[in-house]
Amino acid sequence: MTTKLLSALILLVAAFGVVWLPAQDDKPANTIGVEVPAAVKSALQREAEGGRIVELGRVNEDGRQQYEATVSHEGLEYAVRVNLRGVVLRVELKDYNDAEDQSLNQLPAAVRDAFKKLARGGSVGNTRRQRLSYSCETRIDGRRYAVTTDEQGRLLRKELQSEEGEEK
């Protein structure tokens, strides 16, 4: 790498606080081929269990350095955010869309009939299907998380909940 290119890269990192490291496609699943703090590496490997870390980056949010990885698991991609101590801050299904437009005819018969009845003869438009989700609060490694899954039990989101006196 030339000195000019390296200087430009350092300038970008300083200006934006973001570094994306190369994908780990040539590495076995659940491995990290770049140097990161041991606690971060351990947390990311734990979250990627059964999947593959395909992208890894360092971000600076509110003056705090964190790592964010893209994990591919069972055909889905998740964004995993971890702080320097290895605390998982957030896991979220990428490109998850809570709702999608559907025509009235695509909706289940009971829903379609209810919409028509509630419209009292008026037209029914802009129908949307929302993904059914379930949420719970749980403790993982002594920390409180909010967890949301879809109707098949696939993880949609896991987020650390701020607790009094606890730093995110």
Say what percent of the chain tops pLDDT 70.
74
Torsion of CA 37, 44, 68, 165, to 10 degrees: -80
Contact 104, 124 (CB under 8 A): yes
**How many domains in the chain?**
1
The answer to whether residue 74 sits within a structural domain is: yes
Model confidence at 105, pLDDT cuts 50, 70, 90, reads: confident
Model confidence at 163, pLDDT cuts 50, 70, 90, reads: low
Return the higher-pLDDT residue of 162 and 12.
162
The answer to whether residue 57 sits within a structural domain is: yes
The answer to whether residue 60 sits within a structural domain is: yes
Beta strand 143-150 with 76-83: parallel, antiparallel or unpaired? unpaired
pLDDT tens for 116-136 read: 898 888 888 888 878 788 999
Return the higher-pLDDT residue of 78 and 3.
78
Mean pLDDT to the nearest integer, 80-88: 95
The answer to whether residue 22 sits within a structural domain is: yes
The answer to whether residue 20 sits within a structural domain is: yes
The boundaries of the domain holding residue 33 are 3-96
- The long-range contacts involving 65-74, CB below 8 angstroms and separated by at least 24 positions, are 65/17, 67/36, 67/40, 69/44, 70/94, 71/44, 71/47, 73/48, 74/50, 74/154
> Any idea what the CATH number is for the domain that residue 89 is in?
3.10.450.360
The answer to whether residue 8 sits within a structural domain is: yes
The answer to whether residue 13 sits within a structural domain is: yes
The answer to whether residue 39 sits within a structural domain is: yes
What is the C-alpha to C-alpha distance for residues 144 and 22, in angstroms, rounded to an integer?
A: 32
Q: What is the pLDDT of residue 1?
A: 43
